[in-house]
Structure 1
């Protein structure tokens, strides 16, 4: 199984490669797109400018291509928003053609209409079907096979049993299959989530919430209103408390403290299921990382590589899980299990 890691800045490419990454994926949102559409119509669901989460200029893409020529680790580029306006397809197609002209061939796409548009315009490229498209079962795989998909990226909510069934029953052989392995475990299914990931608004999936049962008599939302009022009051108290502890917070933000606070798979982990994923037919493992610190990404990739090495030496699933927990987690398992 090969390691696929997310890239937020071209400066991080070499670090990821040296850590053991077999493939890199990145977002590309040129200035022209941001100027015309801003965050209202995302290009790849990561419309962030405040920190490094995607590449913002064609010149940077040229530099990245030169790096690929030297280090031989391929890069795929995401255009994985759920849908686009009719007027946007031509603009996106021109972006893809420009990228193909400088040597990129692999594109991660979620919108079926965009895939059909590229086919109609005879733009030759390799398409990885984004997990945001939500290939759910064998029936959906049969449909998508008509689009000449070279790799299926399973979304976060697929069980290993689902993936195994899709792969084993697929009539088209020798395809690639990718599954999430580290970071960004989310309670939403991407294909049904229309929130924005941008500077101006908190990510919907990051907002705190509480599930609770309303009484049968609550038919005028008074109970809901009271719970909301209590929530905002608690939030205000927390903010006041944080303001009183500014010095402590600055201490925590020091480089040394951040290094010590690293927990493998703290926001999503599938390392213990590596054996089952391999048996299901997964060929690529996704380490989500656009926007993550490069220090943490480097550790993630190295730890995943160690887990794959352990897997090659042990056949028994239980013995593999025990060794991974012993060698990699150091009693700091996050409990954020994907599978």
Structure 2
């Protein structure tokens, strides 16, 4: 059982599947293949002929960069180019998925967007909501755009993936018989997921986006941006897979399994925050402590998936059946989604002119 309170030091919703980064070799191959293309200088890439403009890339870049420059921690030219490449890959993957959804007439409607926006605004006064927008450097149009994208991809996944997954009673029974000991709890257990960010530079962040904060200022900005996206309704597991810097859990959507109450109490602030949650809720941003020095080394957001009191759980327990059914469904869903989006990428014609530009500049 992994300890939720330990920073490892290593480095499924829209961005879970649309923001999988391309291997570096593919970027080079793209650059080599397209060196003779001519295009508008403001076009950074095209997806099946549709342009992604420099203004789009720059806006997304500034959003990820945050206020590091204001804190006199400007990235080097290489770091800035690398971040822009990552941002552009994200925009490319989003465009691929949105085009697929549009072909299937699954793009979210204005009514659906407005309903979700009203749900988001419900806990706040108009003034409070506007203050949150300002603090996150978002406009109302930005929020609507993100909502539409998230709803669209959810509709696509529901039709193309989730509607085709079946978990039978026999599947549940077989799993329980093979893992019965997992349902005998000696003390209260908390099933948690985590998104973790640290300020330590690393070449291996361990997430799909190859996303890594390089210092404390970037770490703060990154974790706040992720919290904002969670608050806007994006999927926790998707963001963990793409951006969490805890390599041993990011691939499983941040799922760190069950953590015992005694382990939880090792960090009173985390224990206090999590014990106040209902299943499905998330904490605020919390410090991650080094297991040896107990000093803050990063930031994390936790999600309480379930809370289980001590004792043997029988198969007749509806909670056990539901947990197994959900686990089997999620495992199959994750596999199918990975394969599905790889297929979409293979079927798309992508030209990354910005990658070509960097390659030319660095090799001449």
- TM category (shorter chain) comes to under 0.3
The structure whose RCO (Cα within 8 Å, separation 6+) is larger is: 2
Judging by fraction of residues, say which structure has more helix.
2
